[in-house]
Structure 1
Amino acid sequence: MASGVRAGYKRAIFPYWSSLRFITCPASRLSSIRDSDGMTKPILSANFAPPGARAPVKASLSAIRWRSTRPMILAASLITVIYLSLAAIVIAVDPHNIYSWGAEPRIERGDTPRDLVIDWIDVAAKDPAYNTFLVGSSVTAMYTPEYMKGVLGPDAHVANLSYGGPRPRDRDLVLDRLVANPTIQHVILTFDWTYIQDPEVTNRSFPAFLYDSDITNDLRMVNFPTIRKAFDILGGNLSYSNPDDATYKTYVDKMYEGFQHPSEMTKIARLVERHRTEIGASSGRDCASFHAINDQLVPDVRALSDRGVKVDIMIPIASYAFYYVRRNDISPTLLDEQMIARRCLVNAVGDLPHVNIFAFDDDPAVAGDLANFREVGHVYDPAILRRFVTATTTGTGRLTRDNFPTHERAIRSAVENYRLTNSYLGRATATEPSENTRSNSSTS
């Protein structure tokens, strides 16, 4: 009976029995097995090798990883060496003139670098050939040094440091450079709406790392344009140039043509009517609220005044429609904040020696007529642009503590009661029938 039980047990586990025998049999007996046809064939296994063959050696995991990462490490090392070498060249040449050594490059006389000037602030501010600086925004980018010399006189050697969208912190960094200039005689500064912002706000494109006190971030200047300029300087070219006056004029003209369109005026008129009842709302702010004015602008102006530098602060001419169009992206109480900020500026520096503040937007013929603008915040009319800058010599439009209340009331009233006006489109509409009449007459 015992043998029968064992036989039954073997039959029950037979599917597994052969496997167990296969696993537990000696390795010398596993060199081949029979297939279903009775033929033998070798077992392909890493544990068996033909006679006389060397068994393969399995590589360690760390060795495999090293072989795979070695090219990347070598490439990264090479890139690092190249970058540090180029950084050493850039810092030694100092193409931005931010250190006390270097080649001291210059901006070409008569050049108007506009937005590119953000990289060249020290190049201009440390150049003893300049004694007058226009520190503005896109509303003053069109003024060339020759034009300014014609307005200010032959002794004015002007560098235009205007660039689009200045913000409080980068404007403060620029003025700090001018305060340190020993040869400066005259600064023309625009008081933009951005002074109602937080003092730490910086233009996103402005390379603040070039002009702050943190030397550890200076390596950020090692880019392709700076590297190229460093090698240009090594080749003997010490001048920066940006001959884009024709391109810029084309851009401005096209901007005006696009703005002076009935559909654009209709859109603005709708905004004016939609927000008229709320445009004069109070912001609840006072002079203590404007830290960019109190902590940055006023100290810089005082420092220049104490040295006898003439400082003309120009409030850009914005249209009355500006307060309606820009209230959504700047502030819903933009009008109130602008008026308070102006008042605080006049009270803080208006009585300082050599300091004057100018504004012209209390004249409806200027700020109320959109024919004068290429955008609600940018004047286009050449006569108004000239009047704006010649105020520094004529004294017209000067704001004082005494006349500011009248100025503020005039602007608030004009904006709150504004009805869209565009004499350019009015003239175009009026002259169109006469032109058609002449055309029909000549055809007949």
Structure 2
Amino acid sequence: MIKKYRYWVNLFVIIFFGGLGLIVIFNFIVDPFQQYRKAFFYTFDTEKPRYLNAGLAKNYDYDSVLIGSSMVENFYAKDIEKYLGFKKVIKLATRGGTIYEEMKTLETAINNQNVKNVLFGLDIYAFSLIAQPVELNEKFPEYLYDDDISNDIIYLLNFSVLKNSIESLFKPYNKEKINENLNSLYSWQREYSSSFTLENYKLQLQSLYLISKNPISGKLFDLNSLKEKFDNVLLPIIKKNKDKNFYIFYPPYSVGQYKIMELSNYFENHLKFKKYIFNKLKKYKNIKIYDFQCVDKITHDLKNYKDLAHYSEDINLWMLKQISNNNYLVTSKNVDIFIKKLNEQTKKYDISGLLQNKN
């Protein structure tokens, strides 16, 4: 009886661990997020950028990288190459990303390729307390961004990854599709094309307007916290990479977003933070900062937006053209002018008039 019991126990152990071993081998061979090699027999999926970005950063050839939140997703790699003169661009956007996630992605790219240029959309929301620390954000697989292969078992022995591996088998390799994926990676313009209406904008503005008086909003954008994240997360990357060209820009949220900032008591911190950033970076010759936030022909034209912050791909293209001509470049002479203009535009804007169809 004991021998028979041992037999079944041993058989169960063999089957169990054998099954786990097959999952590891299968995930390694298919490698749906290209952590070890480029996809060569399937067309990769783009639905999990935090997983995919690590693989793209490690295994693709490029000399320039696009970093940022959803504010940069509607750039096209070929447009960046055309207008900024970069040789080969890889898009590594992190939708809803924290500054830690964005810099970890950039660091991985720099460690794996000879990066010469960085185009970076500096989104204040990536620095705020809304952006959770990475240890509290299970969506970010930090272990994929390091060089420690011992923790890759989390990826290889992963049933979610297994699901993606199986699905990859039904997506035959299509070089044209892959090239298009890399060019437009994570772009959401087509998906939300019907959202670029004044009616939709006003609905979202009304919703945020109703909660803008919540005192917690201002605390989420504590100025000292913003500075701390800049000093300890972003600035070290810049200090280590003085041989690389950084093109940093402030995304042009709509005027309604700045008004919500004001009503929520963090607009002043936003302005002070921008001045702080400039003072910290002005000594670096390899850095250019572009400020599009006070360009009222963009920010006041509400048909450019699908919500209060996210603009259409036409604005992404417009920004590239401005950067290529050094328009809206922040200097010691105009930094206060840009900040003052944005402050005046925001304070003057009549949000209640818009909601009541007066303008």
TM-score range, shorter chain: 0.7 to 0.9
Deviations along 1:385-421, one digit per CA (max 9) or x if unpaired, are 2221223321111123432222222222222332248
Q: Which residue of 2 aligns with 1:315?
A: 250
Partner SS state of residue 306, structure 2: strand
For 1:220, give the aligned amino acid.
I
1:397 aligns with 2:315: no
Q: CA–CA distance in 1 between the matches of 2:227 and 2:266? A: 13
Equivalent positions of 1:219-368 (< 5 A) are 219-222=153-156, 223-225=161-163, 227-228=165-166, 241=178, 248-257=188-197, 260-261=198-199, 264-265=201-202, 268=205, 285-286=222-223, 290-304=227-241, 306-307=242-243, 309-325=244-260, 332-368=264-300
Letter paired with 2:306: R
Alpha-carbon deviation of 1:210?
1.0
Kindly state the Cα deviation for residue 81 of structure 1 after the two structures are TM-superposed. Answer: 2.1
Equivalent residue runs for 1:407-418 within 5 Å: 407-418=338-349
Counterpart among 45, 48, 51 of residue 119 in structure 1: 51
Cα deviations by residue, 1:286-306 (Å, 9 ceiling, x for unpaired):
5575222111111112222x2
The one-letter code of the counterpart of 2:199 is H
Report the CA distance shift for 1:405/1:115 in structure 2 as closer, same or farther (over 3 A): farther
**Paired residues, number:** 344
**Conserved in 1, the CA contact under 8 Å of 2:252 and 2:299?**
yes
Q: CA RMSD in A?
A: 4.4
Report the Cα offset of residue 125 of structure 1. 2.5
Query: Structure 1 residues 224, 91: closer, same or farther in 2, change over 3 A?
Result: closer
Task: Tell me which residue corresponds to 1:157.
Answer: 88
Residues 83 and 168 of structure 1, relative CA distance in 2, 3 Å threshold: same
**Per-residue Cα deviation, 1:55-97 (whole angstroms, up to 9, x for no partner):** xxxx9xxx8xx97x99899657524321233224545776656
Amino acid at match of 1:312: Y
Matched, 1:205 2:125: no
Deviations 1:103-157 (A, max 9, x none): x31699xx9976544223343323463111111222221222222223223x521
Unaligned runs of 5+ in 2: none
> Which amino acid counterpart does residue 336 of structure 1 have in structure 2?
E
Shift, 1:339, TM fit = 1.9
Letter in 2 for 1:256: F
CA distance in 2, matches of 1:112, 1:334: 41
Q: 1:96 to 1:71 in 2, by over 3 A?
A: same
Secondary structure, in 3 states, of the residue corresponding to 2:70? coil
Q: Tell me the SS of whatever aligns to 1:133.
A: strand
Q: Which has the larger radius of gyration?
A: 1
Q: Could you say what secondary structure the match of 1:352 adopts?
A: coil
Residue 217 of structure 1, CA deviation: 3.9
1:192-241 CA distance string (max 9 Å, x none): 12123378346542322211466554222132255448989xx9999993
Q: 2:20 maps to which residue?
A: 83
